[in-house]
DNA sequence: TCTGGGGTCCTAGGACCC
DNA sequence: TCTGGGGTCCTAGGACCC
């Protein structure tokens, strides 16, 4: 029996989230900006029609937005994350085999569903999500994940329908021939260019080639994409919890910074965030990378990176900050204007693996009580922050004042309608 | 003035081993 | 004169995804 995969994709997700709580935005051109109001990361159909490009730097299109009355929103990840959870919860109520692929997409493998009534069933899912959460979605169905992605592209961009099932809504050949090479999942700008140069213009062209030749000339990854286009399953549903292998936290500053103490303060915050994620997934780290960059669009681009090996595995924010700061000291050059700093935790392992402790390190050594006390402190820290507010408890080195010069800009951020008591909408009679 | 923040996997090449 | 072959591990860099 052939397998069937579906991808559920939220339409213009961030814009749709904003529209739910501000219905005046409906039918208006809306864009959502990245952190620091840097560039465009989501557009309503009306904004797309006006020619706003994905990733466009905001400062370049600001005047245009004003002239065209485009509504500009700063990103509000707290809101989007919560709305995403609601959508995913409904999907999980419909199907047991769900892969939460990204904030606005989920794959499902359709097992035992009555395929004849598939369209009806999926339309019911679309309507349920619209009714209970308010987010419009599109669904694509195919024999592999890559074909499901082709189908959802057809649904959204060509058919303007909520559901597209390959071999039902349209033929397989029709779908592949009208999917441009750069729209195929797994083919980025570089490969699209190289393939176009060879006269491979759409998904159908690619599917006719020899996977072996593609593997030699490009890579295994592209050869698998080709096989998936032919209907051979290479990519399976990943629906088990797998801890991250790397954890990163970094952000651009609101304004460029040249003061060491200010940058160290920002870095301490990113370390705290990364350590929190590390503990949340039950891991320990032994290797840090601290990086610092000046503006990459300016002439003197300086982007050093310090690698730090910790004496032993840890998940303690205090240890991580201490070593990260030592790394920052090594790469910091006075007199430059920096734009961004951050930390990457690598070499992660599960905290459940029994570890050999360092015999000569008296700080952590074999003093079990002290280790336990440290872990208890961290647990309390995480619990309080989770329960009351993010960063209600923090280390002194994370903040010198209430607001710091490195903090990011966010001029048009909407309220946290669903996660903060003060922000809940009041209905008046 | 102003250009995001996370991740993954694969490959090639070097070091090292027997 | 002729100077092996096979394997592993690690790392950096490059491709991709949202």
Identify the segments of chain A with pLDDT beneath 70.
113-115, 355-371, 400-402
**Would you say the C-beta of A249 is within 7 Å of strand B?**
yes
Q: Which residues, in sequence order, are CB contacts of A272 under 8 Å at separation 6+?
A: A317, A321, A391, A394, A395, A398
Phi, psi for residue A57 in degrees, rounded to 5: -65, 135
Closest nt to A346 (CA→C1')?
A: B7
Of A45, A44, A49, A72, the C-alpha closest to A59 is: A72
Phi, psi for residue A234 in degrees, rounded to 5: -110, -30
**Would you say the C-beta of A365 is within 7 Å of strand B?**
no
First to last CA, chain A: 57
Q: What is the DSSP string of A42-99?
A: EE-HHHHHTTPPTT-BHHHHHHHHHHTT-EEEE--HHHHHHHHHHHHHHHHHH-S-EE
Distance A215 CA to C3 C1' (A): 35
Distance A252 CA to B4 C1' (A): 8
**Would you say the C-beta of A279 is within 7 Å of strand B?**
no
Burial (CB < 10 A; 0-12, 13-18, 19+), residue A102, is exposed
Closest nt to A253 (CA→C1')?
A: B4
CA gyration radius for chain A?
Answer: 25
Query: What kind and span of H or E run contains A107?
Result: strand A105-109
Q: CA A206, CA A145: separation in Å to the nearest integer?
A: 16
Query: What kind and span of H or E run contains A161?
Result: none
**Would you say the C-beta of A217 is within 7 Å of strand B?**
no
> pLDDT for A195-224, tens place per residue?
999 999 999 999 999 999 999 999 999 999
Distance A285 CA to C9 C1' (A): 20
Closest nt to A190 (CA→C1')?
A: C15
What is the dihedral sign for C-alpha A142, A146, A148, A153?
A: negative
Distance A365 CA to B3 C1' (A): 47
Q: Closest CA to C14 C1' — which residue? A: A190
What is the dihedral sign for C-alpha A200, A42, A221, A171?
A: negative
Q: Reduced to 3 states, what is the DSSP secondary structure of residue A132?
A: helix
Q: Reduced to 3 states, what is the DSSP secondary structure of residue A202?
A: strand
Which tokens is A125 given?
A: 């899912």
Q: Closest CA to B8 C1' — which residue? A: A245
Per residue in A200-236, is it b (16+ CB within 10 Å) or e — as a string? bebbbbbbebebeebbeebeeebbbbbbbbbbebbbe
**Would you say the C-beta of A409 is within 7 Å of strand B?**
no
Q: CA A90, CA A140: separation in Å to the nearest integer?
A: 17
Distance A429 CA to B7 C1' (A): 47
pLDDT at A365: 46
Distance A384 CA to B10 C1' (A): 41
**Would you say the C-beta of A255 is within 7 Å of strand B?**
yes
Phi, psi for residue A311 in degrees, rounded to 5: -60, -30
Closest nt to A195 (CA→C1')?
A: C15
Q: How many residues does chain A have?
A: 429
Nucleotides of B under 7 A from a protein CB: 1-11
> pLDDT for A364-401, tens place per residue?
444 566 667 888 888 888 888 888 777 788 888 787 66
> pLDDT for A223-274, tens place per residue?
999 999 999 999 999 988 889 999 999 999 999 999 999 999 999 999 999 9
**Would you say the C-beta of A289 is within 7 Å of strand B?**
no
Distance A304 CA to B6 C1' (A): 20
Distance A38 CA to C9 C1' (A): 41
Q: Closest CA to C18 C1' — which residue? A: A102
């Amino acid at each position: 029996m052939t397998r069937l995969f579906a991808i559920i994709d939220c339409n213009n997700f961030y814009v749709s989230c904003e529209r739910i709580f501000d219905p005046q935005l409906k039918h208006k051109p809306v864009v959502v900006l990245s952190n620091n109001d840097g560039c465009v990361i989501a557009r309503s159909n009306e904004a797309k029609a006006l020619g706003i490009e994905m990733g466009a730097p905001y400062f370049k299109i600001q005047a245009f937005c004003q002239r065209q009355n485009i509504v500009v929103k700063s990103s509000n990840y707290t809101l989007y994350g919560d709305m995403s959870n609601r959508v995913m919860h409904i999907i999980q109520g419909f199907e047991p085999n769900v892969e939460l692929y990204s904030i606005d997409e989920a794959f499902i493998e359709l097992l035992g569903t009555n395929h004849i009534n598939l369209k009806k069933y999926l339309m019911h899912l679309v309507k349920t999500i619209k009714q209970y959460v308010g987010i419009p979605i599109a669904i694509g169905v195919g024999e592999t994940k890559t074909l499901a992605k082709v189908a959802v592209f057809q649904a959204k961009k060509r058919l303007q329908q909520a559901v597209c099932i390959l071999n039902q809504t349209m033929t397989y050949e029709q779908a592949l021939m009208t999917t441009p090479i750069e729209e195929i999942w797994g083919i980025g700008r570089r490969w699209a260019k190289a393939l176009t140069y060879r006269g491979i213009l759409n998904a159908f062209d690619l599917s006719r080639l020899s996977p072996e030749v593609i593997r030699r000339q490009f890579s295994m990854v592209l050869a698998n994409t080709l096989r998936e286009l032919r209907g051979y399953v290479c990519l399976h549903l990943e629906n088990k919890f797998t801890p991250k292998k790397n954890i990163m936290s970094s952000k651009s500053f609101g304004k460029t910074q040249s003061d060491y103490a200010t940058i160290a303060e920002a870095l301490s915050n990113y370390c705290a965030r990364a350590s929190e994620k590390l503990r949340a997934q039950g891991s320990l780290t032994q290797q840090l990378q601290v990086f610092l960059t000046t503006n990459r669009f300016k002439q003197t681009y300086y982007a050093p990176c310090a690698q730090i090996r910790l004496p032993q595995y840890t998940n303690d924010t205090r240890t991580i900050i201490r070593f990260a700061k030592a790394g920052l000291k090594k790469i910091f050059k006075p007199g430059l204007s920096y734009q961004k700093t951050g930390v990457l935790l690598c070499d992660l392992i599960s905290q459940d693996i029994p570890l050999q402790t360092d015999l000569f390190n008296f700080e952590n050594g074999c003093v079990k009580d002290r280790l336990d006390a440290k872990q208890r402190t961290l647990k309390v820290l995480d619990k309080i922050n989770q329960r009351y507010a993010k960063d209600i408890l923090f280390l002194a080195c994370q903040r010198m004042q209430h607001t710091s010069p490195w903090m990011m800009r966010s001029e048009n951020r909407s309220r946290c309608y669903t996660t903060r008591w003060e922000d809940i909408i009041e209905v008046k009679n």
